[in-house]
Structure 1
């Protein structure tokens, strides 16, 4: 690379990778499901995300290769498990990119009063967005760093401005609508959040947690960072702390000013519906656009490098490891673009379905990586790790153990049947064929096919050697 990302650029990249569609689009759903407990839900999601972020940061100090969870799984558990984690992580990241691309295109169409439900318009917009991202990456890391840093500062600035304005309104007008949340009801007439049991808490936490995801991808491009084994463990927790403070602040302000609007709105950018002032709405909409574009820029950096990392480790064809003179993995990028476009198209750009797939598909790595960190600490890894890695029992054993316990608990309490079925207008429950097919292909068919290809390749090499 002509230039590598320094510490502060990594911090901004992490923030940019996290703050995207979730906080602008999903707070209404979280408030609707949890009522006045929404801040608690976001706080619990932030704790869960922080524990996982520290765990991923701990893994980064032991393994300085690109690929993030793929590299950690391969170093700890060997070729086969590493290969499976790499492929499934790549599919998850591609789905996530599809979610973010869909969001930014639909938001632009909505702002310009165009039909955001028109499949042709969304598809054309998607292709244009991908072409712009390709151009940015082709021009090299220096331009990417500038755009990443500027978009991150702008999106955080928009959110912080909204928080300050909201606090100002509450302080100077004396109007605080937080207590009115208890008067809001759902479709059955029950007060929001009044009937929450453990599965309901889990579903709400996962919905809020979606707004925190993205930190797990930052180390995918470790080879393009300065001293990743030192900078990543410091940058990731710092970024998570900043994001958590911003999220809790913005949701709290929305609930104090106009909780009814954020629950009932049909606007794409739900957060904008809270404010009647056109200037504040414009700031939020502008921040949302910059945020969504910025996180797509970050995804265009992370996701292809997972495929490239596997090619560099000789687990998929070398074809995908080719880079341009500016250090851009162009072949991996084009394959990733194809997946990121085709998956949302298969779901007819239904944000609900692809968000669920994106969230759940990450949990494989949330089990593997904590286990890998504990293996690194006790020295049972099968491959060499960074010899200068500084070990810590609290960070490398206690924290990953908590991450593992929380992940298993969430998966156990998660309502799986609800995510793979659809309730029709007449109340009939039918299977969500698109969601089921996508999971089967992404987590069984594709990994199995590539494993068979790899086994055939190894067998061919042995025959040639003999």
Structure 2
């Protein structure tokens, strides 16, 4: 039964409601993937690929690779349809410690750092029109980034439906910006300006450079697996999860390739390599007075991307709390809005602290951990195929797909350990730092009574302030408790 506020019930329990439609799912995939990368710095792919044609090939390979990974995740998402993504899959297959370490690096660094980077990028481009010829003041950028984080967190807390509407609208806006770039590039080519593409294979190519180009390209495709974090809220997930993947990821791949063709049609390879904002340079060449719309579109793009990342981050925190790997309060759901308010507030606060940190270094250190966790999730798929063959699998991909994808993940994890041992070593240390936390907070069951009492009192206080209840608590019980407390 569904109430007027959009909440849902299973039996008498308060649960997350299935409000995410197919269109919302496609918008979540496309909106989370397309952030600032395709507008700002595709030069990294070109630099490591060695030539324009090789760069376009890399963009295509990355898209196909992510489609294969997403199809594998569709089997996992429909087989284990709870929120949590790879954390939930690793937990089922390999147990508590590996799952906790995956959760640890995501909760403490990766998610907050990513959200902080995207919010700062939004702020810089939103202020670009106010400060057209100089960099905007750092304080103004930080304040606007913090405001964006707080506003979107508030919206995520009060309404899933409003959050999904924002995601859909901003995804449409960023796709419009990319279509403008593609059309402008096609018109430029139609006038006979093909000189840059005619020399498409000119340059130096090597295997090591190709590997690094793949890293840059895959970073731009980051977010392809985010829909699995909200499978629990997806309407008809057995049908809509694979449909959203087949619609969203090929769309992103085609758009990415065509946008880079447009860039290379208008700008020389050297201009692409030296520009920190390729889309702005492109607009200055061919869009005339409309060139000032590019910073606006980049701001809209990053705002929508931040919304999608916040939405999925809250669900990851909630999933960890439900398994006892994070404080139970983070699994609590708002009594009326049916949103994970405590989890959303925590991810927002951590992101605010990250605004002043050296975030790029942190992300570089832990980029290989991302692929380690994704590879472990695919390993979980293969392991569960063997150990639990009778587990219900509404979607079952051909065995060749997870095997190929797992091999590629191993490659993406091993190569950085050889080429960048310092940053990789930092990432390993940050991951292993979660072991003592796991022993103290999860494995240590017989804690002193005063610790348990203090934790209980703080939880009850925050429940009253935030109007949240445990998913295990019945609606009737929670309403009675609220009346008694008042």
Question: TM-score category by the smaller chain?
Answer: 0.7 to 0.9
Tell me which residue corresponds to 1:107: 125
2:28 pairs with 1:6: no
Distance in structure 2 (CA, Å) of the matches to 1:178 and 1:305: 45
Alignment of 1:52-451 (within 5 A): 52-90=69-107, 91-113=109-131, 116=135, 118-171=137-190, 173-179=191-197, 193-194=203-204, 196-259=205-268, 260-266=270-276, 269-275=277-283, 276=285, 277-324=287-334, 325-347=336-358, 351=360, 353-357=361-365, 359-380=367-388, 387=392, 389-392=394-397, 394=398, 397-414=399-416, 418=420, 420=422, 439=427, 442-451=430-439
Deviation at 1:167, TM superposition (A): 0.5
Distance in structure 2 (CA, Å) of the matches to 1:313 and 1:363: 23
Distance in structure 2 (CA, Å) of the matches to 1:66 and 1:253: 39
1:94 to 1:125, Cα distance in 2 relative to 1, 3 A: same
Q: Please tell me whether the aligned partners of residues 95 and 358 of structure 1 are also in contact (alpha carbons under 8 angstroms).
A: no
**Gaps in structure 2 of 5+ consecutive residues:** 1-5, 8-16, 453-486
Distance in structure 1 (CA, Å) of the matches to 2:141 and 2:232: 34
TM-score computed with the length of structure 1 as normaliser: 0.84
Cα-Cα RMSD? 2.8
Q: Please tell me whether the aligned partners of residues 57 and 237 of structure 1 are also in contact (alpha carbons under 8 angstroms).
A: no
**Gaps in structure 1 of 5+ consecutive residues:** 184-190, 422-434
Q: Please tell me whether the aligned partners of residues 263 and 278 of structure 2 are also in contact (alpha carbons under 8 angstroms).
A: no
Deviates more, 1:7-16 or 1:28-37: 28-37
Deviates more, 1:78-87 or 1:13-22: 78-87
1:327 to 1:447, Cα distance in 2 relative to 1, 3 A: farther
Distance in structure 1 (CA, Å) of the matches to 2:209 and 2:317: 36
Q: Please tell me whether the aligned partners of residues 86 and 310 of structure 1 are also in contact (alpha carbons under 8 angstroms).
A: yes
Q: Please tell me whether the aligned partners of residues 12 and 148 of structure 1 are also in contact (alpha carbons under 8 angstroms).
A: yes
Distance in structure 2 (CA, Å) of the matches to 1:152 and 1:404: 30
Distance in structure 2 (CA, Å) of the matches to 1:7 and 1:26: 31
1:334 to 1:214, Cα distance in 2 relative to 1, 3 A: same
1:21 to 1:369, Cα distance in 2 relative to 1, 3 A: same
Deviation at 1:274, TM superposition (A): 1.6
2:22 pairs with 1:22: no
2:440 pairs with 1:452: yes
Tell me which residue corresponds to 2:59: 42
Tell me which residue corresponds to 1:427: none
Q: Please tell me whether the aligned partners of residues 61 and 233 of structure 1 are also in contact (alpha carbons under 8 angstroms).
A: no
Question: Over residues 19-50 of structure 1, what are the superposed CA-to-partner deviations in whole Å (9 max), with x where a residue is unaligned?
Answer: 11211122122223333221112122222222
Q: Please tell me whether the aligned partners of residues 59 and 257 of structure 2 are also in contact (alpha carbons under 8 angstroms).
A: yes
Deviation at 1:117, TM superposition (A): 6.9
1:279 to 1:246, Cα distance in 2 relative to 1, 3 A: farther
TM-score computed with the length of structure 2 as normaliser: 0.80
Q: Please tell me whether the aligned partners of residues 304 and 329 of structure 1 are also in contact (alpha carbons under 8 angstroms).
A: yes
1:448 to 1:270, Cα distance in 2 relative to 1, 3 A: farther
Distance in structure 2 (CA, Å) of the matches to 1:117 and 1:181: 38
Distance in structure 2 (CA, Å) of the matches to 1:436 and 1:122: 32
Deviation at 1:416, TM superposition (A): 5.5
Q: Please tell me whether the aligned partners of residues 103 and 292 of structure 1 are also in contact (alpha carbons under 8 angstroms).
A: yes
Deviation at 1:66, TM superposition (A): 0.1
Distance in structure 2 (CA, Å) of the matches to 1:401 and 1:364: 15
Deviates more, 1:196-205 or 1:220-229: 220-229
Distance in structure 2 (CA, Å) of the matches to 1:447 and 1:49: 30
Distance in structure 2 (CA, Å) of the matches to 1:388 and 1:449: 34
Distance in structure 2 (CA, Å) of the matches to 1:285 and 1:237: 30
Aligned residues: 427
Question: Over residues 313-346 of structure 1, what are the superposed CA-to-partner deviations in whole Å (9 max), with x where a residue is unaligned?
Answer: 2222211112222122222122212322333422
Question: Over residues 129-186 of structure 1, what are the superposed CA-to-partner deviations in whole Å (9 max), with x where a residue is unaligned?
Answer: 1111122213301111111111111111211221122102211x21123248679xxx
Deviation at 1:88, TM superposition (A): 2.5
